[in-house]
Structure 1
Amino acid sequence: MRAWEGAERFIDLLEVPLTDRGSRLLVYRTDDGDGGGLRVAGAVYERSPGKSTHLRRIAVLDGAGRPLEITAIGPEGIAFGASAASLALVGADSLSIGSSNTGGAVTVLLEPFGTGTDGQAVSEVDAAPIHWHGTEGTVASPDAHGAVRVLLQPGGSLLLRIGGPVAKAPEPGDHAALLAAAAGRWADWFTRLPAVRGTDLELARYAWWILASNIVQLDTHPGIDVVVPSKQGYVAAWQWDSYFISIGLRHGDGRLAADQIRLFFAEQSPDGGLPDVVHDHGTLSCVGDMPPGDLATMARIHGADSPMVTESGMPITKPPLAAWAARAVDAVAGTTLQSELRGGLDRLHEWWFARPAPDGLPGYEHVYSSGLDDSPLFDDGGPVFAPDLPSYLVVALDAMADLAEDAGDAAAAARHRARADKTAAQLVDRRFDPELGRFVARTPAGRRTTVTPFALMPLLTGRLPEPVKAALAAQLADPASLGTSFPLPTVGFSEPEFNPDRMWRGPVWLNVNWLVVQGLLRSGLEAEAAALAEQTVEMVVCSGGLHEYWNPLTGRRAAGATTGFGWSAALFIDLAVWLAHRDG
């Protein structure tokens, strides 16, 4: 049995394309119903696969010119016609197609996106040239429609490269070696899969495939493997995505997990702030860095005169989870990442505390800094002073105090712990509404009392008075609040803003559930934590995929959600590992 048995059934080439570690190519089925056609797109920052086509169609034809059906799909490649031919991805920009040594000749039909003025085949992405080289020597010129047919004798192969200089023609037998190398890489990766329960194993294998298949190297950071949220539209590193991804990776690859966090500290500003995004062209650190599409979205939602659109210097970042994530990686992987980043982590926390609200607790100036792009918490504009941010800072300070204690620095440990205690006490005193029995947010309009699970994040402090803790725990079971059929909705079920399919206004997100599980654990509510973790893992398994977010009423993929999503894969792994250890 192959190490990835079961994972391949999720790679349907429709919603989930074939890609490979480091590859910028995405291979989909065509929708023309011929059974064997493929489309090749690019993984490009701020560009959807539907608008980054390299090849409109690849098909492998038999001796009579009929397309061979796709008969097998796996992490290592695609087989056609009961292995009469196969396809494998090579490096960042190439793919190889080869015919079987024992079968008859096949023809590869190639239809590039277009042709340049010189007749060169080109991609939709920056008109990059497309080169192909076959073992049969000369390759036919494009026909009137730009299509090319390449004959492959038994054992022959064809290498295609998107962009760059003309590639050296492959030697006979190269394709078989490339296919074997791909299978070997994946077999090695799956030996790192952590132990989970049998009920979770198949989806855990798929999750483990997602984490490696979403690896790219950014132009700004060559030599560093970056696990992006998804090669389908999210081809960059987002700060809190990278932290959550590191949480899953730590169970099998500590170095890779640590690199996801190091990436952002390599871009830390002198004042201590970290960028929201690291991408192929630089960083997104302030409003002035936002892509035009994002600015248009902000203008539509918040108004063209909103400071979140007009103040080019307004910083954009993500919640401060770095110290916690680094310590979590170290605890499982045996790394020393938190100690390595200690100075940068201290500067990061000072940066956040330099942004107080009128009540002394920091807030989010820009909606993107919260990670909650469409949450009703920001319907009144910004800044917003929600209960989650101080909670994250308490966890971070506790992590720094633990590090200082490890190093024998009692003074630093006491300083961090005292600040954590003070912040947690202020959070209860200034943001908890005893009449409502929940934490509320402060906005430019005053208070926003919309029920969201972000009001549960003070559980993370581990310092809540018993009545407050009990009030928060009660919301988890209330069907009119957060106790939907598939918890946790990102807006309470009875709230007027609730929409089960709209981004942060109702759907279930794995990072939210994971954070609340951690909060329950830190508050001594292990039974409640286990129940939520179990519900979450069961929902994901039954939904048949690892999506960006889920409908809280059906437990299925929510409308508009990307699938094959990085932090969903990572946090599913982490929850499944924890449940396996707990059961064992």
Structure 2
Amino acid sequence: MVSWEGAGAFLDLEEVPLTDRGSRLLVFKNDDGGAGRPGAGRAGLRVAGAVYERSPDTSTHLHRIAVFDGAGRPLEATAVVPEGITFGDSAASLVLVGSDALSIGALAEPVVVLLEPFGTSADGRPVSEVDGAGISWRATDGTVPAADPVSGDTGPAGPGAVRLLLPPGGSLLLRIGGAVDQAPEPGGHAALLAAAASRWTDWFARLPAVRGTDLELVRYAWWILASNIVQLDTHPGIDAVVPSKQGYVAAWQWDSYFISIGLRHGDAELAADQLRLFFAEQTPDGGLPDVVHDHGTLACVADMPPGDVATLARIHGADSPMVTQADMPITKPPLAAWAARAVDAVAGTSLQSELKDGLDRLHEWWFARPTPDGLPGYEHVYSSGLDDSPLFDDGGPVFAPDLPSYLVVALDAMADLAEDAGDGATAARHRALADTTAAQLVEKRFDAELGRFVALTPAGRRTTVTPFGLMPLLTGRLPEPVKAALAARLADPSCLSAPFPLPTVGLSEPEFNQDRMWRGPVWLNVNWLIVQGLLRSGLEAEAAALAERTVAMVVASGGIHEYWNPLTGARAAGATTGFGWSAALFLDLAVWLAATDAGR
């Protein structure tokens, strides 16, 4: 197998399973994730599914795949790289095939493959935990290998377990959720393995230039972006890069925008498709859904999964409009125009022009939402993306300083597009609304006595220090005293300048919790947004310093996580790993820092 110079070192099959571009399969070590299940603790692997709203722990296809040599000795997984797994001293290998299959091949000696499915159907067929999907297999030459029932100490106790003997050069194609095509696989297992290696060779050839100190983690980030690709059942022609195949198997609107920022450095078309996916679901009034998933969209309260309804009822009360108002829209912050222009700027594409009409309608939709004073706000907590932020402790709607800031950036992007086309009147109209919005933001949300921006909630003003109060830097229009106050807040070690910045709640705030999602941990999208705000406000040194500290934190943590502990720089408790927008924005910061260094 090909080695990707360290990218495979992160695929420990414990926290980070093997998966592949387009695959819905996740391959873990059997001793982790299978605790309490048949086969746990015995040599081998567990295969789970990447399913919307389900953890891999509740979507097991196979409790156990184990490979043995001809004498019955177990062959451990000795090498894991993006294109597959090698067992023993290159005695056998495993490669993922398409969305729902894998192939196991004996390379030089005969091997025995033991399969233990999740269970069996009433008529004795092996089935998965996911909707009782059937599991089938055949040799890649089209024949069906003989299956021996498992007995004795080497086999698990689950029903339907079998041993399959593979002769030298023989292989097994196993499929989840459908019958295996009996036609021979051209070239057999070797061809499937070669195709996977070629696919990853092509992908890593697109890796953008970065500094040597960041290269290992950048390779891993680049792997994450490709390995998180699926095709959603509702959009079979588009490769969607999901946040994570472990519990986040759908496209979330602002995740997709941030992911496009990283993808633009190596695959402009894939980056563009992340935006197209959402504009294909735009409603007639201009709104966009929060989520696009295999079964449809999450665009309003009525679409929420039961687990989300229960969580919001517990936090905000069962009678909260965010739980009971079925037609309340749920969306995400309007970053599309900015993301589209960013893709075009790097890749030379015309995505923003392609989406122009939809972008205009999106911005009009936001400015038409109910508001107490002309500045739009978030009706639903999910629309902010800040699921448990203290900004929403008083319920909703919340009129926070970040949303108008995003809209100013969006309007500037649309003005730039109009100027590109020689349409001065349209450019002036967009620019005037951006100017007005930025001025109102300072007038109505900045507290000069406190020296910070505040949010309006149903209980009045919410003054909790969060980095979202720094988002007005994105406008590039702040008066010097306001800009100086925000820069001081950013540099304050008792506030936002944590050992590993930026905490999502100030360190001295009573709501601060170093491990609780949006109440303390570091999120890369927040840091990335503040870096962009500092640049747009002319604070280049501060932007470079925050970017350096962010990249250094990721490198030192040894992984690319959902969020980080601001006091230790380690992965925060409860955060998933191999997270899509963290990979994309870490990569983007690393590319920018490399270019900045080269330009000095």
2:16 aligned partner: 16
Contact 1:156/1:173 (CA < 8 Å) preserved in 2? no
Structure 1 unmatched runs, 5+: none
Pick one of 437, 443, 447 that aligns with 1:429. 443
Indicate which of 484, 491, 506 corresponds to 2:520: 506
Cα root mean square deviation, aligned:
1.3
**1:214–1:229 Cα contact (<8 Å) kept:** yes
Deviations 1:286-305 (A, max 9, x none): 00000000000000000000
Q: 1:26 — aligned with what?
A: 26
Contact 2:174/2:180, CA 8 A, preserved across alignment: no
Cα-to-partner distance string for 1:533-569 (whole Å, 9 max, x where unaligned)? 0000000000010000000000000000010000000
Residue 305 (structure 2) aligns with: 291
Amino acid at match of 1:556: A
- Structure-2 change in CA distance of 1:343 and 1:3 (3 Å): farther
2:44 aligned residue? 37
Q: Secondary structure at the match of 2:519?
A: coil
Q: Could you say which residue in structure 1 is the equivalent of 2:336?
A: 322
Amino acid at match of 2:202: D
Normalised by the size of structure 2, how large is the TM-score?
0.95
Any residues of structure 2 matched to 1:50-61 within 5 Å, and which? 50-61=57-68
1:567 corresponds, among 571, 581, 591, to 581
Matched with 1:116 is: 121
Displacement after TM superposition at 1:170 (Å): 3.9
Superposed CA offset, 1:300-333 (max 9, x none): 0000000000000000000000000000000001
CA deviation after TM superposition for structure 1 residue 139, in Å: 2.4
Matched-pair contact (CA < 8 Å) for 1:287–1:314: yes
Task: State how 1:392-411 maps to structure 2 within 5 Å.
Answer: 392-411=406-425
Shift of 1:494: 0.4
1:128 aligns with 2:133: yes
What amino acid does structure 2 have at the position aligned with 1:276?
Answer: D
Aligned-pair CA distance for 1:173? 4.7
User: Where has structure 1 moved over 6 Å in runs of 4 or more?
Assistant: 32-35
Deviation at 1:360, TM superposition (A): 1.3
Per-residue deviation, 1:138: 3.5
Matched, 1:48 2:55: yes
Quote the residue 1:149 is aligned against. 163
Q: Percent identity?
A: 82
1:241 and 2:259 correspond: no
Asked if structure 1 preserves the Cα contact closer than 8 Å seen for 2:105 and 2:169, the reply is yes
Task: Tell me which of 458, 472, 480 is aligned to 1:458.
Answer: 472
1:365 pairs with 2:379:
yes
Report the Cα offset of residue 197 of structure 1. 0.2
TM-score (ref. length: structure 1):
0.98
Amino acid of the structure 1 residue aligned with 2:207: L
How far has the Cα of 1:165 moved from its partner? 2.6
Aligned partners of 1:309 and 1:171: how far apart in 2?
A: 51
1:354 aligns with 2:368: yes
Aligned counterpart, 2:290: 276
**3-state secondary structure, aligned to 2:67:** strand
Describe the SS at the equivalent of 1:131: strand
**Mapped partners of 1:430, 1:213: distance in 2:** 45
Q: Which amino acid in the other structure matches residue 190 of structure 2? A: A
Shift in alpha-carbon separation, 1:171–1:318, aligned structure 2, 3 A: closer
Report the counterpart of residue 174 of structure 1 in structure 2: 188
In structure 2, relative to structure 1, the CA distance for the partners of 1:404 and 1:69 (3 Å cut) is same
Separation in 2, partners of 1:538, 1:127: 45
Separation of aligned partners in 1, 2:117 and 2:448:
64
Question: How far is the alpha carbon of 1:358 from its aligned partner?
Answer: 1.2
Question: Which of 477, 487, 490 is the equivalent residue of 2:491?
Answer: 477
What secondary structure is seen at the aligned counterpart in 2 of 1:309?
helix
- Structure 1 position 520 matched with structure 2 position 520: no
Query: Does the residue aligned with 1:12 lie in a helix, a strand or coil?
Result: coil
1:497 aligns with 2:511: yes
| One-letter amino acid of the structure 2 residue matched with residue 286 of structure 1 | C
Deviation at 1:142, TM superposition (A): 4.1
Residue 438 of structure 2 is aligned to residue 415 of structure 1: no
Q: 1:60-80 deviations in whole A, cap 9, x for unaligned?
A: 011221210111000000000
Once residues 150 and 224 of structure 2 are traced to their aligned partners in structure 1, the CA distance between those partners, rounded to angstroms, is 38
Gaps of 5+ in 2: 32-38, 152-158
Residue aligning to 1:97: 104
Deviations 1:200-223, CA, capped at 9 Å, x for gaps: 000000000000000000000011
Deviations 1:100-159 (A, max 9, x none): 1x3x21100000000001110000000000001125644215447321100011000000
d(CA) in 2 for partners of 1:356 and 1:423? 15
Per-residue CA shift, 1:177-219, capped at 9, x if unaligned? 1001100000000000000000000000000000000000000
Q: Is residue 49–residue 61 contact of structure 2 (8 Å, CA) maintained in 1?
A: yes
Corresponding residue of 2:174: 160
Q: Aligned partners of 1:172, 1:562: CA distance in 2, in Å?
A: 38
Distance 1:68 1:3, change over 3 A: closer
Aligned to 2:75: 68
What amino acid maps onto 1:216 in structure 2? V
Figure out how many residues of one structure are paired with residues of the other and give that number.
582
Q: Distance in 1 between matches of 2:550 and 2:145?
A: 56
CA contact (8 A) 1:159 1:170 kept: no
Q: Is the 8 A contact 1:35 1:70 kept in 2?
A: no
